[in-house]
Structure 1
Amino acid sequence: MRTRAANLGLLLGVALILSYVESLIPFAFGIPGMKLGLPNAAILIVLYLYGWQQALIINVLRIVVSGFLFGSMFGILFSLAGAIISFAAMCIFKKADFFSIKGVSICGGVSHNIGQMLVAVYVVKTSGILYYLPVLMIGGLITGILIGIISENIIPRIRSEVILR
C-alpha cells in the first residue's frame, strides 16, 4: 500500500509528464501560446481527492519544475499568474458545491487565461492585447470541458483502487 506522500508524488510526476507531452504537441490553431492544459487534470484530481492545500503545493511544484525543464522564466511567470487565479476560482466553485467537476474545470480554464492576460497587459504595458481575450476564453472553455471529462472519469477509478491513504 502506498502512502499519501507517495500518491501525491505520483500525481506530481503525472503532471510533469503531461507538461512534457503538452510541450511536444503543436496545438495552436492560430492562437499563439494556447495549450490544452493537460497537467491541470492531475491538479483537478488532487483537488478532489486530497484537498486544496495539497493541490496548491502540487500545482506550484509542477509549474516551477516544468518551467525550468521545458520552458523559461517568462513561462513560469505567466503560468503562475494563470494558475493562481485559476486555482482560486476552482477552489471557490468546488466549495460552492454547485458545479460538477467539469464545471469547476471550465471555470479553471477560463480564469487561467484571464490571469495570463492580466500579466501580459502589465508586461507589454498596453491593454490593446485584450482583444485576444475572448478567443482565449473560448479555448479555456473547450479545454476545460475536455480536462473535466478526463478528470471525472479518472477520479472514480483512483478511488476504487483505495490509494487515498
Structure 2
Amino acid sequence: MDMKVMENIYLLVIVTLISVVQNAFFAQKVEKECNSQNIKTSTLERVSCASRNCMDLYPTFLAVMWCAGLCLSQAPAAFSGIIYLVVRQKYFVGYMGQTSQSTPGYLFGKRILCFLFLMCIVGIFNYLLISHYGSDYKDYVETITSAASALLLIP
C-alpha cells in the first residue's frame, strides 16, 4: 500500500480495530450470560439489549468517522472515535445496571456522532469550494475542528 495513503488513515484504522475488539467483548458478555447455569432472564435481556443497541449505531459511527477523517482531518476524527468508544462502553455497562445509568452515555454518544457528521459536511463543502471556486479553507477548518474536538470532553 502507498505510504502516503497509510499516513492519512492509520489513526482511523487503529480506532476501527479497537472498536472491533470492543464488539467482541460485547458478544463475549452476551455469550457468557447465555451460558451461565443460573439463567436470569432479566440480566440476559439487559445484556442482549445493550449489545443490540450498540450494534445498531455501529455502521453509522464507522461511516461518519471515516468520512470525517478522509474528507477533513484524521486526528480530530480519530480522537472523537476513541471518545465515542469510551462512551459506548459506559453506555453498555450502565445499561447492565439500571437503564437510567445508560442515559448519559447515550446522550454523549449522540453528541459525538453529530460532531463527526458536521465534520463530514464541512469536509465535503470544502471539497466543493476547491473544485468549483478554487478556494481552499481546509487549513482553517482543520484548526477549528482540532480545537472543537477537545470541547467534546465537556459533559
Shared fold per TM-score greater than 0.5:
no
Structure having the higher helix fraction is 2
Q: TM-score, normalised by structure 2?
A: 0.32
Q: TM-score, normalised by structure 1?
A: 0.31
Higher RCO structure (Cα 8 Å, ≥6 apart): 1
Greater CA radius of gyration, 1 or 2? 2
